Structure 1
Amino acid sequence: MRDVFAALCNAANAGRPCLFTALVETRGSTPQKAGAAMLVFADGAQIGTLGGGCVEAEVKRRALERITVGGPELMTFQLDSDYGWDDGLICGGRMKMLVDAIRPGNDLSYYRACSERATAGQGFTQAVILEDHPDAPPGSQFLFDVAGSLLASRPAGLPPESVGENLRSISSRPRPYVVSGVTYLPSLPRCRLIIVGAGHVGQKTAELAADVDFDVWVIDDREEYCSPERFPRAQQLIAGPIGRELKALETTPDDFLVIVTRGHNHDEEALYRLIGKPFRYLGMIGSRRKIRMIFDDLRKEGVSPSALERVHAPLGFDIGSQTVPEIAVSIVSQLIAVRNRGESVSTVHALRDTVRAASGT
């Protein structure tokens, strides 16, 4: 979504017509869920996706018919044999799309506000009118911040009172929903992932985490490892003694913390420094024997059993990982589960055990 909004603003600045298409409502089985967005240009080029396949091609075809018209339109697609014949995939659901043709000279304050929020990693909710309403035509869009304050609208104007009344708090991490003919498309704030350890596992984990929209920080005592060359997409690199840097580090209840250092002693010190800080997720790599020894040491240092129960150790889903990329996949998969679904430690461990049982390991 961030890339789509940024590309839309860049195209408008260059005087290049384009079409913003967004999946605003789904019913039944569909290849993509509400909230997906795609930008289409006159030559058929696109940024983003609505799920691929024939239905995406049909959205592009119908959208391009409007590129000289301008303004929004709602389009409905029934996923029957019309859109699944070529690959045998007939979902049977229904997808409703918002198609907004952006022309040179259009007021882009709404999309610029969306782009600014998305780029900054701040949460917001878009509300789109789906049905006839006396105070706003179908396709009208309203942008709200995390506090529920109106930031922008397209076209300009105030939303119907009921739109604000049905707005759900971003803190509850809602998924897209429809109430009284209005669809609500929440974009959750980006989360910070602090990786302690800049070795091979830390490097690959950082790469994958950036791909799935975490803001990555890396901490290591080796400056030659904790470098922009190895972590080109990191938001922050901190090179220095691990204990000192973690002691000074300020965290929030939304932060994700991953300990993947090169040795037992560094892992233990990192966990000792982090376990008393606020976080949403704290995980540590290692064998069960190593983890048991570290937990025993921390109990002797006065760390409570209840605090240790909040630690994902060993971190990551058990997928039989052997290589560094596989280990990173298992870690980032678990981070996504906690971020997107609010999984608790017990739930994640239950899922891990289910995966292990299914694989026969």
Structure 2
Amino acid sequence: MLDIAEELSRWLDEGRDFAVATVVAVSGSAPRGPGAALAVDADGTAIGSVSGGCVEGAVYDLCAQALQDGQAVRERFGYSDEDAFAVGLTCGGVLDILVTPVPAGGPDTKAIQTALSAAARREAAALARVVRGPAQLLGRALAVHPSEARGGPPRTESGGGSYEGELGGHPDLDRAVADETRALLDAGHTGTFDIARDGSHCEPDLTLFVESSVPPPRMLVFGAIDFAAALVRVGKFLGYHVTVCDARPVFATRTRFPEADDIVADWPHRYLRRTRTDSRTVVCVLTHDAKFDIPLLEAALRLPVAYVGAMGSRRTHADRDRRLRERGLTEAELTRLHSPIGLDLGARTPEETALSIAAEIVAARRGGTGLPLSGSHTPIHHDTEGCRSGAASRVGSF
């Protein structure tokens, strides 16, 4: 439900009763992944989506029923071979959906509000809910803050971080669930884990679904050129926190990049070394000037970032490759470089070029091939294939 946190947080502030349906497991091909949510309030207003339209009507009815009887329920929706018009996913996948009533002043409302408020502010937080277990525990929630959190909710662990709420089970259960949830949150993952009602991992009889909300991933665009302006717009559309950096203050201006989150006038390699990056950060080098590119790429290719791409012709790439080898970069480090940057779309304009770069970033993120779907035989929804192994299902960290 954290994907519609801003709206749901407002509903809670207004004292609205609502029910929320959340995708908690996916198998096969499905249009939306774990964490996708649809909510319905007491007036029948609906927000969000769990399937892109396939089963929305049936899920809406489940939410309305949960509002009436106050009971959480887990339902499975899949494709019906006998009747293509039956409630099901015509794309062939299976969705497990948890429907939870959230009445104003309910036992889990405060924990849910804590997680929703943090997510709406784009702060790190996670919401753990029981998706398998006794009926009286189904849907019970715990809000968890990351390891470095301090203050906030009253229950604070000695190792840092805090949680709010209680699951209604053994006293050790809340602490154990908070620890497991925090591990997923610190890694930026959404997924599930199994645990016993006494908080141990012996004979687990509960399954918890964890939604993690983390700050937006960063897109660092180096080179304040017209292609960068188009890439900023596309990056914002994809949900990145976009920074433009150029050593020339006359070009790195708010007037030229009104949609950028940050604009930095500094030498690119110097800024990269002092700024925060992580495993979700993408680095786009559009300067195609060796005095900027080489020290910048030398630094970028040695960082644990998600993507490094550099603009330039094939001749420029060959020269760049030679210079980087002379600086001691290894073969493994050089293979991380996407150069020339972007997919081959035949792009010409800045907007088309930005689209080709964004397409390559998405393909790298999701494991796509970049080939036309009409001519390939790979799964359309890569995230839903082969990502559920063992006790945990971890999805969407980049």
Question: What TM-score do you get using the length of structure 1 for normalisation?
Answer: 0.75
Q: 2: CA distance between counterparts of 1:244 and 1:197?
A: 12
Q: 1:153 to 1:75 in 2, by over 3 A?
A: farther
Contact persistence 1:321–1:330 (CA under 8 A): yes
Give the aligned CA root-mean-square deviation in angstroms.
4.0
Q: Confirm or deny: 8 A CA contact 2:77 2:87 kept in the other structure.
A: no
1:170-196 CA deviation, whole Å, 9 max, x = no partner? 566656346455143343644222111
Residues in 2 aligned to 1:305 and 1:65: alpha-carbon distance in whole angstroms: 60
In the alignment, is residue 23 of structure 1 matched against residue 48 of structure 2?
no
The answer to whether the 8 A contact 2:26-2:96 is kept is yes
Give structure 1 stretches of 5+ with no counterpart: 342-347
CA distance in 1 between counterparts of 2:268 and 2:91 reads 53
Provide the residue aligned with 1:14 in structure 2.
14
Distance 2:77 2:175 in 1: 30
Secondary structure (helix, strand or coil) at the match of 2:165 reads strand
1:252 is aligned, of 274, 277, 285, to 277
Alpha-carbon distance change, 176 to 230 in structure 1, aligned in 2, over 3 angstroms: farther
Instruction: Give the drift of 1:74.
Output: 3.0
Corresponding residue of 2:353: 327
CA contact (8 A) 2:245 2:268 kept: no
Map 1:1-361 to 2 at 5 A: 2=2, 4-70=4-70, 72-80=72-80, 84-85=84-85, 90-91=90-91, 93-106=93-106, 108-118=109-119, 119-122=121-124, 124=126, 126-132=128-134, 137-147=137-147, 151-153=163-165, 159=173, 169=184, 176-177=191-192, 179=194, 180-187=205-212, 189=214, 190-221=216-247, 226-228=252-254, 231-238=257-264, 240-243=265-268, 246=271, 249-254=274-279, 255-261=281-287, 265-268=291-294, 270-271=296-297, 274-275=300-301, 279-300=305-326, 302-306=327-331, 307-339=333-365, 351=369
- What amino acid maps onto 1:234 in structure 2? A
Q: Deviations over 1:241-265 (max 9, x none)?
A: 4358537633434332211137565
Unaligned runs of 5+ in 2: 148-158, 195-204, 377-398
Shift of 1:122: 2.5
The Cα offsets for residues 315-334 of structure 1, whole Å up to 9 and x where unpaired, read as 23334434433322332233
When residues 111 and 170 of structure 1 are mapped into structure 2, their CA distance, relative to the original with a 3 A threshold, is closer
- State the distance in 2 between where 1:22 and 1:282 align: 34
For residue 50 of structure 1, report the CA deviation from its aligned partner.
0.6
Q: 1:15 to 1:116 in 2, by over 3 A?
A: closer
Matched position secondary structure for 2:51: coil
- Which of the pair has the greater relative contact order for Cα pairs under 8 Å at 6+ separation? 2
* Number of the residue aligned with 2:391: none
Cα distance, 1:305–1:74 mapped onto 2, change above 3 Å: closer
Distance in 1 (alpha carbons) for counterparts of 2:191 and 2:336: 29
- Structure 1 residues 86 and 326 mapped into 2: Cα distance closer, same or farther (>3 Å)? farther
Deviation at 1:160, TM superposition (A): 6.6
Q: Percent identity?
A: 24
Residue 124 of structure 1: how far off its partner (Å): 3.5
Contact 1:25 / 1:178 at 8 angstroms: preserved in 2? no
Relative to structure 1, the CA distance from residue 207 to residue 247 in structure 2 (aligned partners, 3 Å threshold; closer, same or farther) is closer
Q: For each residue in 1:98-117, what CA deviation from the matched residue of structure 2 results, as whole angstroms up to 9, or x when unmatched?
A: 22333334463222332344
